[in-house]
Amino acid sequence: MINGPDQPETQRYIEIDTGGRRKRLVGTISYILFFLAIAGALVMLFIYFTNQWTLAILLVGFMVLYMATMGWLAMRKHRDMDDSMMR
């Protein structure tokens, strides 16, 4: 619908159903299990190459910690940018 020159422009909002607490919990648990499965596969791959459990676990632990830290920092910076744009 086209507004005339003397009519204010109306905004439409779309509400997205997030499914509630149970759906978020299932999604979070699924994400964590998938993340652990990938980390376990990487540990097995590194054990195959190095033949040492401790080195493989330390390497994968470092990679997971580094990725989680970088993701948290990126999310925090993005959230701060969104907050400053809303003002």
The structure tokens listed for 64 are: 């997971």
**What was the pLDDT predicted at 83?**
58
Q: What is the pTM of this model?
A: 0.60
Q: Above 60 in pLDDT, residue 2?
A: no
Distance CA 38, CA 79 (A): 28
Residue type, 33: L
Q: Give per-residue pLDDT as tens, 36-87.
A: 999 999 999 999 998 999 999 999 999 999 999 998 898 887 666 655 655 5
CA 10 – CA 51 distance, rounded (Å): 65
